[in-house]
Amino acid sequence: MHGGRRDSRYGQLIRRGFTEPAAAEGLLATPGLEEVRGDTGLLDAFAATADPDLALRGLVRLIEAQEDPQPLVDTLLASKPLRDRLLGVLGVSEALGEHLVVHPDDWQALVTYEAAADLHPGVEEFEALVGPASGPDDLRHRYRGSLLSVAARDVCGTSDLARTAAELADLATATLRAALTIAQREAPEDAAMCRIAVIGMGKCGGHELNYVSDVDVIFVAEPVEGTEESQALQAAGRLASRMMRICSDTTAEGTIWPVDANLRPEGRNGPLVRTLYSHLAYLNRWAKTWEFQALLKARPVAGDTALGEAYVEAVAPLVWQAAERENFVPDVQQMRRRVVAAIPAAQVERELKLGPGGLRDVEFAVQLLQLVHGRSDTTLRSPTTLAALDALATGGYVGRQDAAALDAAYRFLRTMEHHIQLHKMRRTHLMPESEEDQRRLGRSLGYRSEPVTELHRAWRRHAAAVRRLHEKLFYRPLLDAVAQLEVGEARLSPRAARQRLEALGYADPAGALRHLEALASGVSRKSAIQRTLLPVLLGWFADSSDPDAGLLGFRKVSDALGNTPWYLRLLRDEGAAAENLARILSAGRFAPDLLLRAPEAVALLGDEHGLLPRSRESLTQEVLAAVGRADDAESGVAAARGVRRRELFRTAAGDIIGAYGTEELPAEDPAAGVDRVGTALTDINSATVAGALRAAVRGQWGDELPTRFAVIGMGRFGGAELGYGSDADVLFVHEAREGVSEEEANKAAFAVATELRRLLQLPTTDPPLVIDADLRPEGKSGPLVRSLDSYASYYRRWSSAWESQALLRAAPVAGDEELGRRFTELIAPLRYPADGLTEESLREIRRLKARMEAERMPRGADSTTHAKMGRGGLADVEWTVQLFQLRHGASVPGLRTTRTRAALAAAREADLIGEEDARILDEAWLMATRVRNAVMLVRGRAGDTFPSEARELGAVGRYLGYESAGPGPRPTETGGSGEMLDDYRRVTRRARAVAERLFYEG
């Protein structure tokens, strides 16, 4: 029985995380633990600690140190919060366990934090604890006792990293005040001669202190009235030295922390204490860049409050002017590189603080951005890293996702650092080497299943994110430009600019130079910013097939927006915005033309989510609201077109950036890009049609038409596969409202359909939205709009196979949603016939396709490269897929979709088509679709064939991912362009073979 109980207890200890269960069993048998050893709640509390073995050893020693252990035992059994806090501290900190053994009554401090209001003391509360210290040793004891409560809140999760670091800074502030008070009490004569203030620097000043860290300070003093300055400074120096020794000396009570005054003027070679005037004289004449960066953290913490505040107020303007110093940004960058280079090689891989991907990477990046941008934006002037990072994100200087990643990484790394220091209460920022220490650290961070593995995985992930974002922000190409806003001279001389333009491949370097001179000449602030932007932009333009067009487009956009307060600031401060604009302007005509008609759309480039398509619902809501505010139908449609113009630019810009990629983001998957663009364009046009419909109705009937009215998208519109140059194929359907005659309803429906088309055909410089209703019953000879009953009657009596095929892509896009749904229910039996296709219908569809190929292929067009009607192009793939839908849609639910690729995937999953055949058709459809989109983006007008002009062909190639595509004497044989055409012919040739086999033989 005894052995069974032992095995049971042994297993329980292992399951609760004990690594030395035999030793733990022995410790649990210690006299005094009789009442708690059988308490399962206690064992569970051990399991929740970072190191159950360490926690148990600490608890046994603490109980043995008690003169009467019963109060502690009773509290452990009765109070879960106390139990969790005490064991949490004992399980992470051997040093604090030693403190409790030396001061066995201090555990009672952990009982007092029950009320929420008491959870997070500030400076005043800590002063109440440490301020009454009778002398240095009493202060050390009180400090360590207060530290115990901070650590308990930390390890038990009632304080997050930011709160813990702030509490440690507040405790340090209270301790410095107490130490200075003791020093003044010990030397009242010195205290009477001077006013002295202690300025917190570094992490103490930034309100983000570590558990074990030097506390950086600067001393400033002034004589009291009637005292010579030299005597007052000597007295203040003695007080400062004594205060530092009180905190730094090691006695039987241990030490608090070293106080480091080396950030003072001239460092350790300069006087320990200066007057305010002396500080300012040094800073104005001799201070180096790093000294102003350090002063960003300055905060009065002890001594004469008015003097401390006067010091901070006086040095603040110097701090925020520092970025204007010559070579400021390179100096800060070089300083960071020196820190990394100075790390011993054996420690680089273990560094949490100084190494690449460490805490300093975050801090230096944040501080540099603060110092550069904080001159004009006072919201950025927080001395606390996380608060400053949040302000930078709020202000748009750092992307929200980047800021969130840096915030998470900084919290993780600082928490690691804290818990490493807690173990022995020693200053270190190295990952411990032993597996035991790493296991305890991992468990303290919440990793329980495989703490060492999970710890290293998370560390690598966060360090990689920090390093990537540090490089992005700290070495941002435009950052030095911002720092040098007032510098009046151009970065490139005219001769150097022309030579660079020629080297970069500009076809007309003289013309390009004229654009540069127009943009950057003069001494205005705008010209200064342009001079910093242009060297970077020129390189990005040169990466395209037509850098001259990119530079010309930039000049036009700058002429349109140059006087707005946000335009150049956006490009200056958001590296991605400038690069994105350069890519867009040099990619072709479509997007730049849209931008020049709505230049304010440049603002979309400054938001990391700005190029993501908006939902149809949000677009429709915006368009309808704009139409509702308009005075008449024409104004309403103009407002709707304004929304469409912006959204077309958003979609085209996102497409270009996704296809080309940037320095930060690789090119996206082509299939994802095609699907996104098709859906976005469909949603944009749907919203625009809805707006035009609302305008047409309001113009004649007010808020309600006498008949319900719906617009049904057909073809690519219904299939959500629109290209930039696609027409909007539609059907119009209506249903008379109750009490309205059929004649009146028909008349109203015809009038609104006619008015809708008229409004959308009004002259405009925007890409046209052509409403094509030729797929309606009887085509152009039939009525423009029919009632639902009329459609039902027609389809019942007269519908042909081609109409069933056309209806495969029918989907409601605007108007009455319920009517649209009932229309799709009406046509379901036609497009998904229960018995599939009859032989007669199959022959009709095959004859129609053959006739269409013969009649619709443009005369003289190359059938091997025509994206729509050519061999293996869109028509081949779509007709083949639609044949599967007509034949099997009734029995295969996945085929009942308006989207080509979705239907093809469903056919593959239903084994109607082989895996390889489906892949070949999908590849051809995607490539042909991308070619059509690329032609529109490049040329600014729709086309189904590759351009013949060399630069345009090269631009299409770049869009399709052929990096070496470019201009040349014979486009079809030029590097990437030739490869692109060869690939297109190969892909579509294979697709043609598959389509013919499946369409005509299947």
b/e burial code for range 185-197 (CB count within 10 A of at least 16 → b) = eeeeebbebbbbb
Residue position matching structure tokens 């891989």:
349
Whole-number Cα distances in Å, 346 to 17, 282, 355, 405, 850: 32, 39, 12, 28, 74
516/492 Cα distance (integer angstroms): 10
Distance CA 102, CA 86 (A): 15
For residues 369-398, one letter each, b for 16 or more C-beta atoms within 10 angstroms of the residue's C-beta and e for the rest, the string is bbbbbbbebeebbbbbbbbbbbbbbeebbb
Q: Decide: helix, strand or coil at residue 940.
A: coil
Looking only at the bridges linking them, the beta strands covering 299-303 and 194-200 are antiparallel
Q: How far apart are CA 168 and CA 151, in angstroms?
A: 9
- Angle ∠(730,735,739) on CA atoms, nearest 5: 155
> Which of helix, strand or coil describes residue 974?
coil
pLDDT at 117: 43
pLDDT of residue 969: 30
Calculate the alpha carbon distances from 598 to 571, 591, 647 in Å: 17, 10, 11
Rg over alpha carbons for the chain, rounded to the nearest Å, is 37
Q: How far apart are CA 548 and CA 571, in angstroms?
A: 20
Name which of 398, 663, 399, 372 is nearest 537 in CA terms.
Answer: 663
Burial of 234 (0-12, 13-18, 19+ CB in 10 A): middle
Question: At 215, is the secondary structure helix, strand, or coil?
Answer: strand
Please, are residues 783 and 664 in contact by the beta-carbon 8 Å criterion? no
- Cα–Cα distances (Å) from 611 to 420, 576, 648, 657, 959, in that order, read 43, 12, 10, 9, 17
Helix, strand or coil, per DSSP, at residue 707: strand
Q: Which amino acid is at 183?
A: A
CA distances from 903 to 352, 728, 882, 894, 897 (A): 52, 21, 8, 7, 6
3 state SS of 775: coil
C-alpha to C-alpha distances, 651 to 44, 241, 544, 605, 718, nearest whole angstrom: 56, 66, 20, 12, 19
Token pair belonging to 466: 């920090």
Helix (H) or strand (E) holding 812: strand 811-815
Q: Residue 597 CA to chain centroid, in angstroms?
A: 29
DSSP string covering 394-463: HTTSS-HHHHHHHHHHHHHHHHHHHHHHHHHT----B--SSHHHHHHHHHHTT--SSHHHHHHHHHHHHH
Q: What is the mean pLDDT of each run of 10 residues along the chain (1002 residues)?
A: 58 86 86 74 88 94 92 88 92 94 90 54 86 93 93 90 95 97 96 97 96 96 96 98 96 92 95 97 92 95 98 95 78 78 82 87 88 82 95 75 91 95 92 93 92 93 88 59 36 60 78 80 63 71 84 90 78 77 91 91 85 95 95 94 96 87 65 93 98 93 91 97 95 96 96 96 90 93 96 93 95 98 97 92 91 85 93 96 96 97 97 96 97 95 92 90 53 63 96 95 72
Question: Please, which residues bridge with residue 195 across strands?
Answer: 222
- Token pair 């299947």 is found at 1002
List the beta bridge partners of residue 643.
none
Distance between CA atoms of residues 728 and 41, nearest Å: 70
| 67 residue type, one letter | E
Task: Count CB atoms within 10 A of the CB of residue 137.
Answer: 15
Instruction: Spell out the residues 6+ positions from residue 406 whose beta carbon is closer than 8 angstroms to its own.
Output: 362, 365, 366, 389, 398, 465, 466, 469
22/716 Cα distance (integer angstroms): 73
Report the 10 Å Cβ neighbour count for 37: 15
207: helix, strand or coil: coil
Under DSSP, the state recorded for 667 is P
**Exposed e or buried b per residue across 859-888, where buried means at least 16 C-beta atoms within 10 angstroms of its C-beta:** eeeeeebbbbbbbbbbbbbbbbbbbbbbbb
Beta bridge partners of 728: 771
Per the CB < 8 A criterion, the answer to whether 734 and 749 are in contact is yes
Give the torsion sign (CA, 320, 325, 329, 334).
negative
Strand-pairing partners, residue 707, are 736
Q: Are the CB atoms for 959 and 659 separated by under 8 Å?
A: yes
Residue 550 is given by DSSP the state H
Q: Are the CB atoms for 621 and 570 separated by under 8 Å? A: no
Percent of residues in the chain assigned helix, strand, coil, to nearest 5: 65, 5, 30
Among 722, 727, 649, CA closest to 679 = 722
Residues paired with 218 in a beta bridge: 199
Only one residue has tokens 């109750």, namely: 738
Is this prediction's pTM over 0.85?
no
Q: For residue 850, count other CB atoms closer than 10 A to its CB.
A: 11
pLDDT at 339: 78
If one counts every other C-beta atom within 10 angstroms of the C-beta of residue 836, the result is 14
From 272, 260, 281, 183, select the one nearest 233 (Cα to Cα).
Answer: 272
**Alpha-carbon gap, residue 249 to 259, rounded angstroms:** 10
The span from the CA of 392 to the CA of 372, in Å, is 11
CA angle 625, 630, 632 (to 5 degrees): 135
Q: Pick from 738, 945, 789: which is nearest to 857 by CA? A: 945
Contact 113, 89 (CB under 8 A): no
Cα gap 594→587, rounded to integer Å: 13
Task: Determine the 3-state secondary structure of 384 from DSSP.
Answer: coil
What tokens does 357 get? 């991907």
Q: What is the pLDDT of residue 26?
A: 85
Contacts of residue 468, defined as CB under 8 A and 6 or more positions apart, other chains included, come to none
> Of the candidates 856, 398, 782, 781, which has an alpha carbon nearest to the alpha carbon of residue 608?
398
* Residue 801: strand pairing partners: none
List the one residue out of 829, 835, 822 whose CA is nearest residue 808.
829
Q: How many CA atoms lie within 13 A of 167 on its CB side?
A: 24
Question: Domains (ranges, CATH) in the chain?
Answer: 326-470 (1.20.120.330), 587-830 (3.30.460.10), 832-1001 (1.20.120.330)
User: Side chain identity at 362, as an amino acid letter?
Assistant: V
Give the model's pLDDT for residue 998: 95
